[in-house]
Homo-oligomer: A and B are copies of this chain.
Amino acid sequence: MYGMKATNIRARVRAEMTEEIKRIARRHLATDGANLSLRAVARDLGVVSSAIYRYFASRDELLTALILDAYNSLGQAVEDREGAVARDDLTGRWMAVCDAVRDWALQRPHEYALIYGSPVPGYQAPQDTVAAATRAVTVLGTVIQDAAVARRVRHDPLETLPDKVAQDVRRAGSVIAPDVPDAVTARALSAWVTLFGLVSFELFGQLNRVVEHRDEFFAHQMRAQARFVGI
């Protein structure tokens, strides 16, 4: 703030341009899939292809930016939807998270594929994405944490985990869900995997000719997962 002119035109224009490029790139992603063409984006922008390189050092860097945005967009969607449910309606909150993920994915299939599909060849996700990637799962973690604190999560206290599994599970839950029994956290992780597994199957065509009533099937399975976890 200090030392930064109120009207830093250069920086502002640059940010707008960057945003515009990403917007057009997202549009191309939605129609042409993952093989995003820098030149096509440049054409749509009414600019020569080399000009794009003023803003993104490479196609990969542009993709990274889109991936980061996608994670944040998903995180935001999940937070918003879950936040609108009454705090003590634990099942409602659980289902809100699941529905938010699926709806977001159905609305932006190519952005979903970008972050949860096969990784772009030769591309290594930078550290930046990690924080954004955890936003969504954090919400689900909070739901079971609240459930545990309210003593509203059923579980067999005798159920134990193999040592190494317990280690991983404990570390994963320690920050967001410290009061949740390890066995329950393990089940929640499994449910999380099932959620994304199902969305991926639906989006990537693995449910074709098998499951026709997608909405009902998804709702049923996610309700079943809630019970499996103990909510």
Interface on A for B, CB 8 Å cutoff?
A: 32-35, 113-114, 116-122, 125, 130, 133, 161-162, 164-165, 167-168, 172, 186-187, 189-190, 193-198, 200-201, 204-206, 209-213, 216-217, 219-221, 224-225, 228
Contact = CB atoms under 8 A, between A and B. Distances in A.
A130 B205 CA distance: 11
A132 to B, nearest CB: 13
Contacts of A34: 118, 121
Contact of A190 (B216, B219, B224): B224
Contacts of A220: 161-162, 165, 186
Contacts of A186: 220-221, 224
Number of copies: 2
Nearest to A164: B213
- 7 closest A-B pairs by beta carbon, nearest first, are A197-B197, A33-B121, A117-B118, A113-B118, A164-B213, A193-B197, A164-B216
Contacts of A165: 213, 216-217, 220
A169 to B, nearest CB: 8
A33 B32 CA distance: 19
A15 to B, nearest CB: 29
B125 A205 contact: yes
A228 B225 CA distance: 10
Given A122-B32, A193-B197, A116 B204 contact: yes
A120 B165 CA distance: 35
Nearest to A32: B121
A213 B113 contact: no
Given A198-B193, A220-B186, A122 B213 contact: no
Contacts of A219: 162
B172 A210 contact: yes
Contact of A172 (B117, B133, B211): B211
B121 A118 contact: no
A23 B82 CA distance: 49
Which of A164, A165, A193, A212 has the most chain B CB atoms closer than 10 A to its own CB? A193
